[in-house]
Amino acid sequence: MLNLKTVNDFDFNGKKVIIRVDFNVPVVDGKITDDNRIVKSIKTIKYVIDNGAKEVILMSHMGKVKKEEDKVSNDLRIVVPRLESLLNMSVDFLEHTSGNELLNDLANSKNCVKLMQNTRYEDLNNKRESNNDENLGRFWASLADIAIFDAFGASHRNHASTSSMFKHINCGVGFLVNEEISKIEEIINDNSHPFIIVMGGAKVSDKISVINNLIDKCDRLIIGGAMSFTFLKALGYNVGKSLVDDNHIEFCRNLMEKYASKISLPFDVVTNNGIKTINNILDDEMGLDIGPETVKVFEENLKTASRVIANGTMGKNEDSKYALGSKEIYTFLANSNAKVLVGGGDTASFVNDIGLSDKFYHISTGGGATLEYLGGNLGSIFEILNSSSVTYGKNKKRNKEINN
């Protein structure tokens, strides 16, 4: 059972605070296309400011930085205008990520809130961020009195900014992470039934831990998207050129043998050559969406659901021709009486794009992080945060004594 301090347990007055946020937002042609992660961080940032913080340093990664050229497309300064607009105040941008250069940036900054450059710029120096470099984490921790973890989407990453930094500082979670954990735990531990899981997306491998952790607890597992073709192939169907996770055929076969009565697979699919039943797919055809009969059956399965965890889409949604199945299923869920938790990443972006972002019990900001958590695999950050609760205590009075 997690026992984490939240922002409510700290005395921020006159303190320097680091907040590890998740500003890894999608950018197309120099424009942010989905600012949900920035928006969701604002409550915590404002709370820390309003409670007297002397200095607030925001840290985040963006994309992957493997070579010098990657810095251009993953420059975090693109976030500053949107951040300033949401906070209604000026934000300093810190050009550097470590060493005397960063200390000089901080010394020369004028505003309370500062956004540090992409933490993964440090990956150009022996992958110090991604390899969870202890010295880098200790250096970052030295910049503040308190650290707040509010980057649920990065909670499964054992990096310097999401792991080692928090070992060396009094720390807790922000409102975003606290809400994510509370919502996920609530829906998993709710005893209402039917409890249904909807899985889509491309790879079976991404979902194995979730399936193994929840298959005995759920009443039905609905599988669509490209991952359904691995299951269909495991059952002996010809899936043509459809995407298949060949390394997990055996897993799918064993799962179907044990849980056939509670697993729903497509009956028909939309291929590059029209709608086909699953026993009529030709060698040169590729399944790209669930078909209309499958939509009806899946909706019938979901009709009486009490709670639903949905992660992944039903087809190749980047092409509008193959987005209908996903739109039908998520619209049905949005208008149902079920308590629905929608996984993050591409799934969250999809439901936002079709105007359903306010229709669900919860839409996670994490993609891989949500899957890991649902699979029972918590990142090291939560163990560190638990330890901080023991070391520093959990109430403002105790924290005030320690910080002074």
CATH of the domain at 316: 3.40.50.1260
Q: Label residue 393 left, alpha or beta by phi (over 0 means left) and psi (-120 to 50 means alpha).
A: left
Neighbour tally for 325: CB within 10 Å: 27
Does 203 share its domain with 226? yes
**398: confidence class by pLDDT, cuts 50, 70, 90:** very low
How does pLDDT run across 238-248, given as a tens digit for each residue? 999 999 999 99
- Is 401 part of any domain? no
Is residue 397 scored above 60 in pLDDT? no
Is residue 401 scored above 70 in pLDDT? no
- In this prediction, residues 221-239 reach a mean pLDDT of 96
Residue 400: per-residue pLDDT:
44
Does 137 share its domain with 81? yes
Does 162 share its domain with 255? no
Residue 15: per-residue pLDDT:
97
Residue 399: per-residue pLDDT:
42
Is residue 395 scored above 70 in pLDDT? no
Residue 33: per-residue pLDDT:
87
What's the domain range around 270? 190-365
Is residue 58 scored above 60 in pLDDT? yes
Partners of 19 in beta bridges: 58, 148
Question: Among residues 336, 330, 229, which one has the least CA distance to residue 285?
Answer: 229
Does 12 share its domain with 80? yes
Whole-Å CA distances, 329 to 87, 263, 395 = 36, 17, 45
Amino acid at 68: E
Does 196 share its domain with 163? no
Question: Among residues 161, 208, 144, 176, which one has the least CA distance to residue 372?
Answer: 208
Does 279 share its domain with 150? no
How does pLDDT run across 104-153, given as a tens digit for each residue? 999 999 999 999 999 999 999 999 999 999 999 999 999 999 999 999 99
Our count of domains for the chain comes to 2
Three-state SS string across the chain, please?
CCCCCEHHHCCCCCCEEEEECCCCCCEECCEECCCHHHHHHHHHHHHHHHCCCCEEEEECCCCCCCCCCHHHHCCHHHHHHHHHHHHCCCCEEECCCCHHHHHHHHHHCCCCEEEECCHHHHHHCCCCCCCCCHHHHHHHHCCCCEEEECCHHHCCCCCHHHHHHHHCCEEEECHHHHHHHHHHHHHHHCCCCCEEEEECCCCCCCCHHHHHHHCCCCCEEEECCCHHHHHHHHCCCCCCCCCCCHHHHHHHHHHHHHHHHHEECCCEEEEECEEEECCCCCCCCCEEEECHHHHHHHHHHHCCCCEEEEECCCCCCCCHHHCHHHHHHHHHHHCCCCEEEECCCHHHHHHHHCCCCCCCCEECCCCHHHHHHHCCCCCHHHHHHHHHHHHHCCCHHHHHHHHC
How does pLDDT run across 327-354, given as a tens digit for each residue? 999 999 999 999 999 987 789 889 988 9
Does 201 share its domain with 330? yes
How does pLDDT run across 156-206, given as a tens digit for each residue? 999 999 999 999 999 999 999 999 999 999 999 999 999 999 999 888 988
Does 314 share its domain with 391? no
Does 114 share its domain with 252? no
Both tokens of 313, joined, read: 């889409």
Residue 378: per-residue pLDDT:
77
Residue 203: per-residue pLDDT:
85
CB-side exposure of 119: number of CA atoms within 13 Å? 29
Least confident of 2-6, 9-13, 398-402: 398-402
User: Is residue 38 within 8 Å of 25, Cβ to Cβ?
Assistant: yes
Is residue 71 scored above 90 in pLDDT? yes
Does 154 share its domain with 250? no
Does 147 share its domain with 197? no
| 111 vs 94: CA distance, rounded Å | 11
Is residue 26 scored above 50 in pLDDT? yes
- Is 20 part of any domain? yes
| Residue linked to tokens 């840290």 | 59
- Is 185 part of any domain? no
- Is 184 part of any domain? no
Mean pLDDT of the chain: 93
Say what percent of the chain tops pLDDT 90. Answer: 82
Does 247 share its domain with 269? yes
Say what percent of the chain tops pLDDT 70. Answer: 96
**1: confidence class by pLDDT, cuts 50, 70, 90:** low
- Is 2 part of any domain? no
Residue 346: per-residue pLDDT:
84
